Structure 1
Amino acid sequence: MLRYSPPVSRRRKQSSGHPAKRAAVRTATQEPPLVRAAAATPVLRGLRGVAAWVGEGVAVTATGLPRPGDIPDLCRVLGIEPPAVRIRTAGRVPWLMSLWAVARAADVIQIRARKARPGEGLGADALETWRNAFVRTVDGNDEEFIEGAEGGALVALQVLANVELPPGTAVDETALDATIRAAAEAEGVTFDVGAGLDLLAFFGAVVREPGRVTLTPLGAHLVTVLHELTPA
């Protein structure tokens, strides 16, 4: 059964600062399996690749994106196939742009004066780096209600966590989508469920198979973290 309650994406302002900053100072000991799982996610492997490529600093475009001539080299560092033809903007490589956006949101890289430089978001603790990257990506503007792909990811996490089935059981994606759309209509907001699930899969929080979605242990961990960051 798929159940919905007020989404974890609704945040109240607090004097203690942005949720990502509060998450960054959490010192609870993490279980090694979660650390290993976080380190193996596509997003964390990609963030380490971006950091390695940026090095001490690399020139970017006026919009803060990799220069077209540098994209093949960056793709090779990340282990993805470079574009078959010369492109004029990095926006033509969606996977790369998604990773670049996460790297900026997570402070893995900083863009200043048309140059990308290393930030402070890539720590030695893989789980902490992964967790903070997710929080900063979905809640970077500290909005009270998050819509679009980020809101879709947060609400999908909550609905999957409330499924009355054994942990690790796959959920029908059509039913999940219907539940979230009904909730969005009741709230008068818009969630991009497909993009939200893509984001969760990128972070390894869910496994997507044709027509089915499964919450992973990392996803369950995120649910706990997000509830800790959300006032009662």
Structure 2
Amino acid sequence: MLRYSPPVSRRRKQSSGHPAKRAAARTLTQEPPLVRAAAATPVIRGLRAVAAWVGEGVAVTATGVPRPGDIPDLCVALGLEPPPVRIRTASRVPWLMSLWSVARAADVIQVRGRKARPGLGLAGDALETWRNAFVRTVDGNDEEFIEGAEGGALVALQVLARLPAPAGTAVDENALEATIREAAEAEGVSFDVAAGLELLAFFGAVARTPGQVTLTPLGGHLLTLLHELTPA
């Protein structure tokens, strides 16, 4: 069982001669690999789509979530299949609500009164946005012990970090779950293992294949970030 330790060449096509297209190509190739990786994650694609949908501002419900009549349009904007029938609350679309919560936590959108407006969360590059979104989503309450999906995600990262070569090493998912549950019992807290791994996959920190979990380079970057944020 995994052991838990407490936290701590084809020819290239000729590029267009148009100056704007050449500049765009240079910008793309000059971006560091982690920035490109972050931009390709489901969470960053989703956050950008939410921000585009909100635009200069959009009305929301009294509880600060999208209005039922707007949910089909928002689903289309996010590339989701709209609900087959009219729904009365956005909570009936869990993935949408999860993304909306992350967008609020990361200041991609701000909700005041019955209006959602753009925030400053997308002001930096994709990696900066990605980092802020993860930290504010997982550790936003500044609790001593983080439970649920957030706790499961953090402990999974800790376990994966203790592998001989963590990045790119596949781990048996059942063994990982057993280790996280062992950690939960030791700490007297409750971790949602499945939801935690889904959260990490949503952020592109792990890659999941049937029965296996692999820490990605973004996950390795996240471990370094969390280590820097943890008081000595």
Residue type of the alignment partner of 1:168: G
The code of the aligned residue for 2:176 comes to L
Which residue number corresponds to residue 12 of structure 2?
none
Q: How does 1:59-70 map to 2 (within 5 A)?
A: 59-70=59-70
The reply to whether residue 151 of structure 1 matches residue 151 of structure 2 is yes
Letter in 2 for 1:90: A
SS, match of residue 208 in structure 2: strand
Query: What letter matches 2:45 in structure 1?
Result: R
**Per-residue CA shift, 1:201-222, capped at 9, x if unaligned?**
0000001111110100000100
Which whole-Å CA distance do the structure 2 matches of 1:47 and 1:174 have between them? 31
CA shift for structure 1 position 107: 0.8
Residue in 2 that maps onto 1:222? 222
Which position in structure 2 is the counterpart of 1:18? none
Shift in Å at residue 166 of structure 1? 6.1
2 CA distance for matches of 1:102 and 1:166? Answer: 27
C-alpha separation in 2, matches of 1:165 and 1:114: 49
Alignment of 1:106-185 (within 5 A): 106-165=106-165, 167-185=167-185
Residue 189 in structure 1 maps to residue 221 in structure 2? no
TM-score normalised by the chain length of structure 2: 0.88
Where relative contact order (Cα < 8 A, 6+ residues apart) is larger, the structure is 1
Distance 2:78 2:192 in 1: 27
Moved over 4 A (4+): none
The 3 A distance-change label for structure 1 pair 103 and 184 is same
TM-score (norm 1): 0.88
Instruction: Mark the structure with the bigger radius of gyration.
Output: 2
Q: Give the Å deviation of 1:2.
A: 2.4
Superposition CA RMSD, Å: 1.5
Inter-partner Cα distance in structure 2 for 1:124 and 1:165: 31
CA distance, structure 2, for counterparts of residue 166 and residue 189 of structure 1: 25
- Cα 1:52/1:166, change in 2 over 3 Å: closer
160-169 or 200-209, which deviates more: 160-169
2:207 aligned residue: 207
Q: AA paired with 1:105?
A: A
Instruction: Using the TM superposition, give the Cα deviation of residue 165 of structure 1 relative to its aligned residue in structure 2, in angstroms.
Output: 4.5
Residue deviations 1:103-153, cap 9 Å, x none?
011111111011101111112311000001000000111112111110110
Indicate conservation of the 8 Å contact 2:110/2:117, yes or no: yes
Q: Residues 226, 86 of structure 1: CA spacing in aligned structure 2 closer, same or farther, 3 A cutoff? A: same
Aligned partner of residue 213 in structure 2, secondary structure: strand
Aligned residue for 2:155, secondary structure, equals: helix
Q: Is the 8 A contact 1:2 1:160 kept in 2?
A: no
Amino acid at match of 1:225: L
Give the Cα–Cα distance (whole angstroms) in 2 for the partners of residues 205 and 218 of structure 1.
Answer: 5
The residue matched to 1:213 in structure 2 has which SS?
strand
**C-alpha displacement at 1:7, in angstroms?**
2.3
What amino acid is aligned across from residue 210 of structure 1 in structure 2?
P
Where in structure 1 are there 5+ consecutive unaligned residues? Answer: 9-30
Q: Look up the match of 2:52.
A: 52
| Counterparts of 2:183 and 2:90, CA distance in 1 | 35
Contact kept in structure 2, 1:2 and 1:164, CA below 8 Å = no
- Partner residue, 2:24: none
